[in-house]
Amino acid sequence: MNKSGMSTVTQFVLLGFPGPWKIQIILFSMILLVYILTLTGNTAIICAVRWDNRLHTPMYMLLANFSFLEIWYVTCTVPNMLANILSKTKTISFSGCFTQFYFFFSLGTTECFFLCVMAYDRYLAICRPLHYPSIMTGQFCVILVSLCWMIGFLSYSISIFFISQLPFCGPNIIDHFLCDVGPLVALSCAPTPIIEHVLYSVSSLIIVLTILYILGSYFLVLRAVLRIPSSTGRQKAFATCGSHLAVVCLFYGTIMVMYVSPTSDNSGAMHKIITLIYSVVIPVLNPFIYSLRNRDMKFALHQVLCAMRTIKIL
C-alpha cells in the first residue's frame, strides 16, 4: 500500500485502554456483550422487515438497510479491538490499519447519508402524503440506498489513499483502539498540513450539510404535524419521527464534538471515549430506539422471537 522508500513501519501498535489485567477482562466482557447485542438487535430488525409483509414499505426497508449498515460499522472495529485487549503485542499490520481506517470513515459517512434519506422519507410521508406513493417507490428507494453506499465509500477514498502513501519511519504506537486520522497523521515523518486539512474539511462539510438537511426536513415535518387536527394523528406522526430524531441527536452529537467543534483537540482519553460512544454504544441503542415506540415493529420482532424459539424447540 505504501511505496515510499522512507517508510520503515510495517505494523502499528494500538494501545487501546491500558490498565490492569482484571480491568482489561471486564472491558473485554462489556464490549463483547455490546457487540453481540448489536448484531442480535440489528439482525432481528432485518428479519422482521423481511418476514412481515406489513413492513414492506420504504420506511422499514430503509430501516433494514440502516441496521445492515450498523452491523458492518461495528464489525470493522470491534473484533480487532477485542483481539487487541487480550493480546500482549496489540499490533495491526500497515495494510490492515488503513483498511480499517477506510471502512470506518466510509461506513460512518454512509450512515450520515442514510439518516438524510430517512429524514426525506418522513418529510414526504407527512408533508406530501398524497404524492408519497408515487415518489417513494421501491425502485426510487433502491436508487437512494445505492447512492448512500456509493457516495459514502467514494468520499474519503482519495484522501485516505494519499495518507497511506506518507512515509512512516517510527515510532509506530497509536494511542487509540482503532486507526483514526489524527493519531495516524501524527506518526508521519513528513509534514502533512494539506492532507489533514482536506480530510477534516471534507468531514466537517459532510457532517454540517447533512445535519442541516435533517434539521430542515424535521422543521417542515414539525410544522405539518402541528397542523394535524386530531391528537391521535399528531401522536402517531411524532412516534414515527421521534425514534429517528433520537438516533440523529446521539450520532451527530458525538461526531460533531470529534470532527467539527473547536474541542476536537481533546485529550487522548476523551478522544477514545467519544469514539467508543458513537462507534460501539450508539449502534446497540438503535434497535431499542426504533422498536420501543413502534407497534408494528414490536409485533414483527415478537413474531421473529417466537419463530426463533420454535426452531430451537424443533
**Domain containing residue 93: CATH number:** 1.20.1070.10
In three-state secondary structure terms, 84 is helix
Residue 278 counted as domain residue: yes
Q: Looking at residue 5, what is its pLDDT?
A: 45
> How many whole angstroms separate alpha carbon 196 and alpha carbon 194?
6
Reading the block at residue 193, the C-alpha cell is 498540513
pLDDT at 293 over 50: yes
202-245 per-position pLDDT tens digit: 888 899 999 999 999 988 988 888 777 777 666 766 666 777 78
Mean pLDDT of 300-308: 70
68 lies in a domain? Answer: yes
Binned at pLDDT 50, 70 and 90, residue 4 comes out as: very low
Instruction: Report the SS3 class of residue 173.
Output: strand
Kindly calculate the radius of gyration of the chain based on its CA atoms and give it in whole angstroms: 21
How far is the CA of 211 from the CAs of 93, 103, 126, 154, 304, in angstroms?
35, 21, 19, 20, 34
Residue 123 has pLDDT above 50, yes or no: yes
Residue 2 is assigned to a structural domain of this protein: no
Asked if residue 4 belongs to a domain, the reply is no
CB-CB contact of 124 with 136 (8 Å)? yes
> Is the predicted pLDDT of residue 10 greater than 90, yes or no?
no
Q: Looking at the domain assignment, is residue 1 inside a domain?
A: no
| DSSP code at position 264 | G
Cα–Cα distance for residue pair 60/56, rounded to 1 Å: 7
Q: Of 128-137, 151-160, 174-183, which one has max mean pLDDT?
A: 128-137
> In 3-93, where does DSSP find H-type helix?
21-51, 58-75, 78-86
27-46 pLDDT tens trace: 999 999 999 999 998 998 89
Domain encompassing residue 185 = 11-313
Confidence class for position 47, pLDDT limits 50, 70, 90? confident
Number of domains composing the chain: 1
Q: Which amino acid is at 296?
A: D
Q: List Cβ neighbours of 185 (8 Å cut-off, separation of 6 or more).
A: 163, 166, 192, 195, 196
Residue 67 lies in a domain: yes
**Phi and psi at residue 54, to the nearest 5°:** -70, -20
Which pLDDT does position 7 carry in this prediction?
58
d(CA 240, CA 236): 6
Are 113 and 148 in contact by the 8 Å Cβ rule? The answer is: yes
Cα separation, 179 vs 203, whole angstroms: 16
pLDDT > 50? residue 247: yes
In terms of Cβ atoms closer than 10 Å to its own Cβ (0-12, 13-18, 19+), residue 300 is buried
Asked if residues 155 and 288 have their Cβ atoms less than 8 Å apart, the reply is no
pLDDT in tens, 172-201: 899 889 998 888 888 888 766 677 778 878
Is 3 within a domain? no
In a domain, 164, yes or no: yes
Sheet holding 91-93, edge to edge: 91-93, 11-14, 173-174
Most confident by average pLDDT, 128-137, 157-166, 238-247: 128-137
CA distances in angstroms from 37 to 2, 66, 246, listed in the order given: 37, 16, 19
**What letter represents residue 129's amino acid?**
P
| Number of residues that make up the chain | 314
